[in-house]
Amino acid sequence: MRRYPRIRWMMIVFCFLAIAINYIDRVNLAIAAPHIKKDLGLDDASMGLILGAFFWTYALMQIPAGRMIDKLGARAGLAIAVGWWSLFTVLTAFGKGFSSIFISRLLLGVGEAGGNPGCAKVVYNWFAKKQRGTASGIFDAGPRAGTALALPLVAWIISTWDWETSFVVTGGIGLVWVALWLVFYREPEQMKGLDEEQKNNLIADRGERHIAGTEKIKLRTLFGYRNVWGMMIGFFCMNFATYFFVTWFPTYLTMSQGFSLKELGTLGAIPALMGIPGSLLGGLTSDWLFNKGFSLTAARKTCLVGGMVLSSVIAFAAFTSNITVILTLFSLTYAGLAFTAANIWTLPADVAPNSGYVATLGGIQNFAGNLAGIVTASFTGLMLGLSHGSFVIPLCVAGGICLLGALNFLFVIGKIEPLDTPKSKPNARIKHQPQASISSQ
């Protein structure tokens, strides 16, 4: 068995922590929302705009952030991203009205755009193709861990002090991460003291088609491939349900189910906690299938489709008032979304034509995925206003879009392999890319 540097696991734990912090800094606003509304006199429509503000800049900056990380490298790129979003998390505490908090959330999104593309780049740099599912599952457990931790942490800070303090504390955690990252992280080629055989094994088994990203590709060329569009559509569908948890879930529990702040920080954290094993299992299952002889396409698509089908049970929560059943359905949904997400984040490394476009593809798919954040936050707020606080329509729509995502991964995504660019294969554009279902692989 070929051996790789063991320190790669420390690098992916850093990524896990970065994305956990990323989500703490997103979710803290959703938890603090009722208190901010009361203190600043905001209505549901205004709060919906504030909750959705982050997603505008987060989505729009995905591709620029991906290009920046591919050019600067994961070390500098992630340090800039985490430092930026941590600063504007702290500054949110000083908001005195709609405009100041809205602007702080817009600027928060600019920094957070680099989080996931940067981690996808680390996975590519430090993990062979046969281990990318596991590595992606580890860092993509970060959103679930961050969301679960944010609920009790932020609820406790608010109940002990105030909502302003919660932003100062959570932003400060990110600044500590930046300092540690700059001390410890290096690319395999630049890290001293690695076993040369293990390092060479890793570089050889990355599975890239071209050498060191030397082939230059125009950004618009990437949008000519069906797999890229399948990645974008699939991520949008997954995130439509995911961002219900990030934006309106705490309000749903307090407004529709009568949860207290204490119950929100305990029972309300259960679905997010279930997402952690869901993410790890999604990555491990994908790699296990691949190492057992499944094609890469079959291994990834089995997990992508299965996870999206499971997550569609969110719709059934609209038709019960039993809190045990509701939390079970939301837990299954979150686990299914996490199972899917672990495999979505292998795709940039799996399909990138060379090492210079891994974070870029991560940014492209995350751009599309985070348009869902804008839609979910605003759509849910609008439906609440029109239906006098009913969550039936938002939950049913989320379940239907999860099923649409499963169909996309089954039929739109084709064979999962490095893209044939015009320079390597002139006619490998969208209309020529072969379709590949699970059964055909």
Residue 117: which pLDDT band, with cuts at 50, 70 and 90? Answer: very high
Residue 277: which pLDDT band, with cuts at 50, 70 and 90? Answer: very high
Q: Is pLDDT at 208 greater than 90 in this prediction?
A: no
Q: Is pLDDT at 183 greater than 90 in this prediction?
A: yes
Cβ pair 74, 14 in contact under 8 A: no
Q: Is pLDDT at 182 greater than 90 in this prediction?
A: yes
pTM, two decimals, is: 0.79
Mean of the per-residue pLDDT values for the chain? 87
Determine, yes or no, domain membership for 440: no
Tell me the C-alpha distance between 273 and 51, whole Å: 22
Determine, yes or no, domain membership for 348: yes
Cβ pair 20, 27 in contact under 8 A: no
Determine, yes or no, domain membership for 3: no
Cβ pair 346, 207 in contact under 8 A: no
Residue 209: which pLDDT band, with cuts at 50, 70 and 90? Answer: low
Determine, yes or no, domain membership for 215: no
Tell me the C-alpha distance between 344 and 143, whole Å: 14
CATH code (residue 150): 1.20.1250.20
Determine, yes or no, domain membership for 438: no
Closest CA to 283 of 333, 346, 229: 346
Mean pLDDT, residues 159-171 taken together: 90
Of all residues in the chain, the percent with pLDDT exceeding 90 is: 51
Q: Which tops the pLDDT comparison, 425 or 429?
A: 425
For residue 411, give Cα distances in angstroms to 208, 211, 336, 348.
25, 31, 19, 19
Residues 81-90: tens digit of each pLDDT: 999 999 999 9
Q: Is pLDDT at 147 greater than 80 in this prediction?
A: no
Closest CA to 365 of 383, 380, 376, 350: 350
Domain that holds residue 373: 8-187+195-207+220-432
Q: Rounded to the nearest 5°, which phi and psi values hold at 111?
A: -75, -45
Determine, yes or no, domain membership for 437: no
Q: Rounded to the nearest 5°, which phi and psi values hold at 216?
A: -90, 130
CA angle, residues 336, 341, 345, in degrees to nearest 5: 160
Closest CA to 231 of 69, 416, 401: 416
In DSSP notation, 192-245 reads TT--HHHHHHHHHTT--SSSTT-S---HHHHTT-HHHHHHHHHHHHHHHHHHHH
Determine, yes or no, domain membership for 374: yes
Task: Give me the pLDDT at residue 248, please.
Answer: 81
Residue 234: which pLDDT band, with cuts at 50, 70 and 90? Answer: very high
Residue 186: which pLDDT band, with cuts at 50, 70 and 90? Answer: very high
For residue 104, give Cα distances in angstroms to 89, 288, 297.
7, 43, 41
Q: Which tops the pLDDT comparison, 373 or 105?
A: 105
Q: Is pLDDT at 210 greater than 70 in this prediction?
A: no
Tell me the C-alpha distance between 9 and 126, whole Å: 9
Q: What region, left, alpha or beta, does residue 389 occupy, with left being phi > 0 and alpha being psi -120 to 50 degrees?
A: left
Tell me the C-alpha distance between 225 and 365, whole Å: 13
Task: Give me the pLDDT at residue 81, please.
Answer: 95
Mean pLDDT, residues 191-209 taken together: 82
For residue 346, give Cα distances in angstroms to 109, 152, 280, 342, 357.
23, 31, 13, 7, 13
Compute the chain's Rg from CA coordinates.
21
Q: Is pLDDT at 429 greater than 70 in this prediction?
A: no
Residues 382-422: tens digit of each pLDDT: 888 888 888 999 999 999 999 999 999 999 999 999 888 65
Determine, yes or no, domain membership for 1: no
Tell me the C-alpha distance between 75 and 81, whole Å: 10
- In total, how many domains does the chain have? 1
Beta bridge partners of 435: 414
